[in-house]
Amino acid sequence: MPLTNAPRLHSQKLILRGPELQDAEPIIAFLQDERRSTGFGHLPERGAAWRWFALNVGHWHIHGYGYFTIETKTGEIAGISGIWNPETWPEPELGWVVFDGFEGRGIAYEAACRARLWAYENLGFTTLTSNIVPGNERSIALAKRMGAFFERNYYNSNMGEDMLYRHPSPEALT
């Protein structure tokens, strides 16, 4: 059962949909895995990870956008991607995460491109950023592959030092 009014977006290999209760366990497992979640926000305590899941549901209700669950066309929950803008963020961010076993298949790229297109076409955004923890080379490479460029460093009160990558405008993508 959907927990938000998020649309279902389709791409070649993926479905992006709003969070559902069945998504809690894979997201909690990701957030509790220090190796995998360090660049996103490691939450070792289950209760804190559960609260992040609930925070994403609330984010959708407050902003009308948030992290979509990435589902493969075969029904596997592969990660999350979407637009994130909690208190203290400098502006809306396009983010992505793929879960263990889903790397190297182009899932993050395909999901992030689809979420960005939705933000531009349906939400009227004219720009987006991706905020990346220094040293997260895979996310930096993905941001660059999407045409984003390094704009500046800034201090994120949740993550510490972050690098802000600016995505091309909708007009630049056409």
Residue by residue, DSSP assigns 7-66 as PPEE-SSEEEE--BGGGHHHHHHHHH-HHHHTTT----SHHHHHHHHHHHHHHHHHHS--
pLDDT tens readout for residues 24-36: 999 999 999 999 9
pTM equals: 0.96
Query: Per the domain annotation, does 141 fall within a domain?
Result: no
- C-beta atoms surrounding 43 within 10 Å: 20
**Residue 93 belongs to a domain:** yes
Strands of the sheet with 67-72, listed across from one edge: 9-10, 14-17, 67-72, 77-84, 93-98, 129-132, 160-166, 149-156
Query: What tens digit of pLDDT does each residue of 55-99 get?
Result: 999 999 999 999 999 999 999 999 999 999 998 899 999 999 999
Contacts of 152-155 with CB under 8 Å at 24 or more apart are 154/90
Task: Look at residue 67 and tell me if it is in a domain.
Answer: yes
Q: Does 16 fall in a domain?
A: yes
Helices 137-145 + 107-122 axis angle, to 10: 50
The boundaries of the domain holding residue 97 are 9-125
- Whether 81 is covered by a domain: the verdict is yes
pLDDT number for residue 106: 97
Please report the pLDDT score of residue 159 as a whole number: 85
Q: How many residues appear in the chain?
A: 174
Which residue type, as a one-letter code, is found at position 163?
A: M
Residue 147 lies in a domain: no
For residues 98 and 87, what is the distance between their CA atoms, to the nearest angstrom? 24
Predicted pLDDT at 149: 98
**Number of folded domains that form the chain:** 1
Give the pLDDT confidence of 112-167 residue by residue, as tens digits. Answer: 999 999 999 999 999 999 999 999 999 999 999 999 999 999 999 888 999 999 99
> Kind and range of the H or E element at 167?
none
**What CATH number has the domain bearing residue 109?**
3.40.630.30
Domain assignment present for 168: no
Residue 46 domain-assigned (yes or no): yes
